[in-house]
């Protein structure tokens, strides 16, 4: 998998190693012809902490540095990055996709109408984000 990181962000070497470890842990490294763009932004339009849009071949992740006027710490941003990379895995493995009507499909079943907190793809991302963060973040490296 090829990935590109854009936007201004701190600790570039830490982030690069962390992304590599996340990709390996999620077994996305085996998807050699797929690409990922990670964009660090000041804020996102909906004030969320992160977002992910994708297909089988490409995914785009945005990570917010602020939400509702509050600054997100570097470690909070990294936790959000783990969450969003679970969504990358879901898109690229074909678990999550949009159907022709623009609704979500989860594991080949129509999945429109879920409340956000009940969406099965969100439940999986929430379940895995902390585990991935603890396993993959390079705590032995210095951060500023």
Handedness of CA 16, 59, 83, 27 (dihedral sign): negative
Q: What is the largest CA-CA distance in the chain?
A: 47
Task: Specify the DSSP class assigned to residue 47.
Answer: -
> What is the reported pLDDT for 82?
98
Query: Domain coordinates of the chain in residue numbers?
Result: 2-136
Please give the class, per CATH, of domain 2-136: alpha beta
Does pLDDT of 113 surpass 90? no
Does pLDDT of 112 surpass 90? no
* pTM of the complete model: 0.95
What is the average pLDDT across 85-109?
92
pLDDT tens readout for residues 21-67:
999 999 999 998 999 999 999 999 999 999 999 999 999 999 999 99
Q: Angle formed by the axes of helices 74-92 and 12-25, to 10°?
A: 30
Question: What CA–CA distances, in Å, run from 139 to 27, 65, 107, 143?
Answer: 21, 20, 35, 9
Tell me if 136 sits within 8 A of 82, measured CB to CB.
yes
Q: Angle formed by the axes of helices 120-136 and 12-25, to 10°?
A: 120
pLDDT tens readout for residues 134-143:
999 999 999 9
Closest by alpha carbon to 61, among 81, 47, 32, 43?
A: 81
Q: Which residue spans within 43-108 are E strands per DSSP?
A: 50-54, 58-64, 66-67, 70-71, 96-98, 104-106
């Amino acid at each position: 998998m090829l990935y590109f990181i854009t936007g201004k962000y701190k600790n570039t070497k830490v982030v690069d190693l962390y992304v590599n470890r996340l990709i390996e842990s999620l077994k996305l490294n085996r998807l050699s012809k797929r690409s990922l763009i990670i964009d660090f932004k000041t804020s996102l339009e909906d004030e969320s902490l992160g977002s992910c849009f994708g297909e089988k071949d490409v995914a785009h992740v945005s990570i917010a540095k602020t939400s509702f006027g509050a600054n997100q710490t570097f470690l909070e941003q990294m936790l959000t990055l783990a969450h969003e990379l679970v969504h990358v895995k879901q898109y690229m493995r074909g678990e999550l996709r949009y159907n022709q009507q623009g609704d979500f499909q989860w594991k080949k079943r129509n999945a429109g109408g879920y409340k956000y907190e009940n969406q099965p793809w969100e439940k999986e991302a929430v379940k895995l984000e902390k585990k991935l963060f603890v396993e993959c973040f390079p705590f032995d490296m210095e951060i500023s």
